[in-house]
């Protein structure tokens, strides 16, 4: 009886709201606020209409595990919708391919993947340090502290992250050309060009996702043309990888490229925005280096476990993910499904509707996170979080429940930050400020409203951080 009443209630008082184009634009802009406002009125589960689709949003964070396990909440049709609407292609044997992609970044591949990434990152930092020295447009001393007389340089943070983290990811995924001339056979197959085109293409992601044709956006079409100029399978097989590597490439690439790049951007920004954050992270790393460094050793080895044993860095990364997530966890409901909330109430989700959880809203819930608008780098050190006086198993779910790349992305980002902090002094010049662009809610990680400049200079005598695949790490 209760179920029926709830169902009826949902169909009447929570009747799906339809949005005009103007309202829809506002929805994307104020997306985080909107479910929170509706939730106040309508409770912890409600339905809205977006174009011709009904979307039931579950706001109770304790439902996360049940939501993730519900077999009638299917991600495949969503994945197909994204690939079809956004990239105009259908993955053949999508499940197998996704599962292969997942395997390639977990279990015994995790360590070898990290080893390859660490090597490419070292190369990228080397090239970056050299090229930024020759292109430096700022050589003055900007701080009284640190290495007196060392040369400060200036770079846009997006470009800096692109030349370091993104380049390393690019070469880890695609390998390097084995053409003896060193030239890439495929025109424009280069990390910075790819990055630039992805940037353009992603601006249109939300419009394409909801079904508007790509031809309406000539800039997106031009960018896509370049992105499709990848090496052929034959070319790829000439590189260090196997045909298995190639299978997961395109899919993995989309995620790694964009999400990891954006996370790294935000981490560096958050590190320099408040100088004490960088100082605390530097201290933690210095102590970890001292613990592992034999006298006069130039190189200090870190295993996967060692990387994970830096509680402040871990908390800092989680806090960054908390404040920059934009993702909706969306599923297609394949059967009428009775869904039980954490207070025991049951609701029926209709077959054919979309059903979602909305991490950004939960991440900003003041009942869970004290002063949620404030960035606290140590928020996650030795703490638990609760809602309705019950501890939450997963307070931050930027990666949704399905992402197989969570482990490796977290490790790669940490390794990138450790290397950056170890090798460079960093400062945010006065007046440089940015924030997440709320027009892009729906993206896993929000882009910034604008780029910022950063000052940096190589630290003299910094030890080399070496990644050690020594110990097998089970995920």
Does 399 help bind ligand HEM (rule: CB under 6 A)?
yes
Q: Widest CA span of the chain, in angstroms?
A: 78
Q: Which is nearer to ligand HEM, 116 or 259 (CB)?
A: 259
Name the residue with the smallest CB distance to ligand HEM: 405
Question: Which of 196, 101, 91, 82 has the alpha carbon at shortest distance from 444?
Answer: 82
Does 355 help bind ligand HEM (rule: CB under 6 A)?
no
Does 327 help bind ligand HEM (rule: CB under 6 A)?
yes
**3-state SS track over 50-104:** ECCEEEEEECCHHHHHHHHHCCCEECHHHHHHHHHHHHCCCCCCHHHHHHHHHHC
Question: Which of 221, 231, 166 has the alpha carbon at shortest distance from 193?
Answer: 166
Q: Say if residue 228 carries a ligand binding annotation.
A: no
Does 394 help bind ligand HEM (rule: CB under 6 A)?
no
Q: Which is nearer to ligand HEM, 408 or 417 (CB)?
A: 408
Does 404 help bind ligand HEM (rule: CB under 6 A)?
yes
Q: Is residue 337 within a helix (H) or strand (E), and if so which, with residue range?
A: strand 337-340
Contact call for residues 54 and 47 (beta carbons, < 8 A): yes
> Candidates 200-208, 227-235, 256-264, 303-311 — which segment interacts with ligand HEM by CB under 6 A?
256-264
Q: Which is nearer to ligand HEM, 35 or 300 (CB)?
A: 35
Q: Which residues neighbour 323 within 8 Å (Cβ) at sequence distance 6 or greater?
A: 266, 363, 375, 436
Does 255 help bind ligand HEM (rule: CB under 6 A)?
yes
d(CA 86, CA 216): 12
> Candidates 101-109, 149-157, 178-186, 382-390 — which segment interacts with ligand HEM by CB under 6 A?
101-109
Does 444 help bind ligand HEM (rule: CB under 6 A)?
yes
Q: Which of 27, 45, 58, 101 binds ligand HEM (CB under 6 A)?
A: 101
d(CA 423, CA 456): 10
Q: Is the dihedral of CA 176, 181, 183, 185 positive or negative?
A: negative
What is the number of helices (H) and of strands (E) in the chain? 20, 14
Does 403 help bind ligand HEM (rule: CB under 6 A)?
yes
> Candidates 19-27, 34-42, 143-151, 401-409 — which segment interacts with ligand HEM by CB under 6 A?
401-409
> Candidates 132-140, 209-217, 259-267, 365-373 — which segment interacts with ligand HEM by CB under 6 A?
259-267
Smallest separation (angstroms) from ligand HEM to the CB of 271? 17
d(CA 286, CA 313): 12
Contact call for residues 119 and 416 (beta carbons, < 8 A): no
Q: Say if residue 4 carries a ligand binding annotation.
A: no
Q: Is the dihedral of CA 428, 124, 414, 62 positive or negative?
A: positive
Does 251 help bind ligand HEM (rule: CB under 6 A)?
yes
d(CA 150, CA 59): 52
Does 259 help bind ligand HEM (rule: CB under 6 A)?
yes
Q: Which residues neighbour 463 within 8 Å (Cβ) at sequence distance 6 or greater?
A: 289, 293, 297, 298, 299, 300, 422
Smallest separation (angstroms) from ligand HEM to the CB of 6? 25
Q: Which is nearer to ligand HEM, 401 or 438 (CB)?
A: 401
323: three-class secondary structure by DSSP? helix
> Candidates 94-102, 223-231, 334-342, 452-460 — which segment interacts with ligand HEM by CB under 6 A?
94-102
d(CA 282, CA 259): 25
Does 326 help bind ligand HEM (rule: CB under 6 A)?
no
Q: Say if residue 354 carries a ligand binding annotation.
A: yes
Contact flags string 103-142 toward ligand HEM, x per CB under 6 A: --x-------------------------------------
Q: Which is nearer to ligand HEM, 438 or 453 (CB)?
A: 438
Q: Which of 445, 452, 454, 465 binds ligand HEM (CB under 6 A)?
A: 445
Does 75 help bind ligand HEM (rule: CB under 6 A)?
yes
Question: Which of 35, 103, 41, 89 has the alpha carbon at shortest distance from 329?
Answer: 35
Query: Binding-site residues, please?
Result: 259, 354, 403
Residues that bind ligand HEM (CB under 6 A): 75, 79, 98, 101-102, 105, 251-252, 255-256, 259-260, 263, 327, 329, 398-405, 408-409, 444-445
């Amino acid at each position: 009886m209760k179920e029926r009443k709830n169902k009826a209630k949902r169909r009447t008082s929570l009747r799906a709201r339809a949005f005009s184009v103007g309202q829809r634009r506002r929805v994307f802009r104020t997306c985080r606020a909107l479910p929170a406002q509706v939730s106040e009125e309508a409770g912890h589960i409600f339905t809205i209409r977006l174009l011709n689709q009904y979307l039931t949003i579950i706001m109770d964070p304790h439902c996360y595990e049940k939501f993730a396990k519900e077999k009638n909440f299917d991600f495949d049709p969503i994945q197909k919708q994204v690939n079809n609407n956004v990239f105009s292609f259908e993955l053949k044997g999508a499940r197998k391919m996704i599962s292969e992609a997942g395997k390639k970044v977990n279990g015994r591949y995790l360590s070898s993947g990290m080893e390859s990434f660490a090597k490419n990152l070292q190369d990228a930092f080397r090239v970056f340090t050299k090229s930024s020295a020759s292109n430096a447009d700022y050589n003055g001393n900007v701080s009284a502290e640190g290495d007196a007389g060392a040369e400060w340089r200036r770079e846009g943070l997006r470009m800096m992250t692109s030349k370091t983290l993104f380049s390393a990811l690019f070469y880890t995924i695609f390998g390097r050309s084995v053409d003896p001339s060193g030239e890439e056979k495929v025109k424009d197959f280069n990390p910075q060009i790819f990055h630039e085109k992805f940037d353009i293409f992603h601006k249109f992601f939300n419009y394409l996702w909801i079904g508007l044709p790509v031809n309406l956006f000539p800039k997106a079409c031009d960018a896509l043309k370049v992105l499709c100029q990848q090496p052929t399978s034959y070319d790829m097989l000439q590189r260090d990888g196997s045909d298995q590597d190639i299978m997961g490439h395109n899919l993995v690439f989309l995620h790694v490229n964009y999400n990891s790049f954006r996370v790294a951007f935000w981490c560096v920004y958050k590190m320099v925005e408040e100088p004490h954050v960088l100082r605390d992270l530097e201290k933690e790393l210095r102590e970890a280096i001292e613990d592992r460094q034999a006298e006069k050793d130039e190189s200090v080895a870190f295993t996967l476990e060692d990387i994970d044993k830096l509680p402040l860095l871990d908390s800092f990364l989680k806090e960054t993910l908390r404040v920059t997530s934009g993702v909706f966890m969306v599923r297609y409901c394949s059967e009428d499904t009775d869904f039980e909330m954490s207070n025991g109430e049951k609701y029926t989700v209709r077959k054919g509707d979309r059903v979602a959880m909305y991490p950004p809203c939960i991440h900003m819930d003041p009942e869970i996170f004290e002063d949620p608008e404030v960035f606290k780098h140590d928020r996650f050190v030795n703490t638990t979080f609760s809602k309705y006086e019950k501890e939450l198993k997963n307070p931050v779910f930027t990666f949704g429940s399905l992402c197989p790349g969570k482990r490796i992305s977290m490790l790669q980002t940490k390794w990138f930050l450790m290397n950056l902090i170890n090798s460079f002094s960093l400062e945010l010049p006065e007046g440089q400020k940015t924030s997440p662009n709320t027009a892009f809610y729906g993206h896993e990680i929000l882009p910034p409203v604008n780029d910022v400049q950063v000052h940096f200079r190589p630290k003299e005598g910094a030890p080399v951080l070496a990644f050690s695949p020594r110990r097998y790490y089970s995920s």
